[in-house]
């Protein structure tokens, strides 16, 4: 079965997001596949965390820069840079959540979407 152009585009975007996170040593990267969930806002969540406001900010900026560099896309919406506890980058089909560790545990998106397919991502250079 061959992939559609949309699937290839999503895969390229996913790879760019993960590369951006990895460039700044984002921690515990998880991909949540929402494609089988009815009425979900997007197809995928990518979740990771950093150790401080500065680290979270750097990860999110790296994702933006890497995605633009690799696939030529910009986030449709971004939120959370003001306090860098939880930064959301909205790429329509993919939403990137960059948390501080405590905020990630508090909001627990992985558990909230437990009926989706959840995959831990281990970047190749680790």
How do 44-50 and 94-100 pair as beta strands? Answer: parallel
**pLDDT (tens digit per residue) in 64-113:** 999 999 999 999 999 999 999 999 999 999 999 999 999 999 999 999 99
Q: Is residue 26 part of a domain?
A: yes
For the stretch 13-26, pLDDT in tens is 999 999 999 999 99
Domain containing 9 — which CATH number?
A: 3.30.460.10
Q: How confident is the model at residue 126 (pLDDT cuts 50, 70, 90)?
A: very low
The stretch 2-12 carries a mean pLDDT of 71
In a domain, 125, yes or no: no
Domain that includes residue 79, residue range: 5-120
Q: Is residue 126 in a domain?
A: no
Domain count, the chain: 1
Tokens linked to 57: 């900010």
Phi, psi of 117 (to 5 degrees): -85, 120
Neighbouring C-beta atoms of residue 57, cutoff 10 Å: 18
> What is d(CA 126, CA 116) in angstroms, rounded to the nearest whole number?
26
Q: Is residue 18 part of a domain?
A: yes
Torsion angle in degrees (nearest 10) through CA of 34, 35, 37, 39 = 100
Residue 85 lies in a domain: yes
């Amino acid at each position: 079965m061959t992939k559609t152009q949309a699937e290839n585009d999503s895969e390229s975007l996913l790879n760019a997001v993960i590369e951006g996170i990895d460039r700044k040593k984002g921690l515990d990267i998880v991909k949540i596949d929402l494609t089988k969930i009815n009425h979900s806002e997007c197809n995928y969540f990518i979740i990771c965390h950093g150790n401080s406001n500065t680290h979270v900010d750097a990860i999110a900026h790296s994702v933006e820069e890497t995605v633009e560099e690799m696939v030529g896309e910009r986030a449709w919406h971004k939120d959370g840079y003001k306090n860098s506890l939880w930064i959301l980058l909205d790429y329509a089909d993919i939403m990137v959540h960059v948390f501080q560790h405590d905020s990630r545990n508090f909001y627990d998106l992985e558990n909230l979407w437990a009926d989706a397919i959840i995959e831990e991502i281990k970047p190749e250079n680790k």
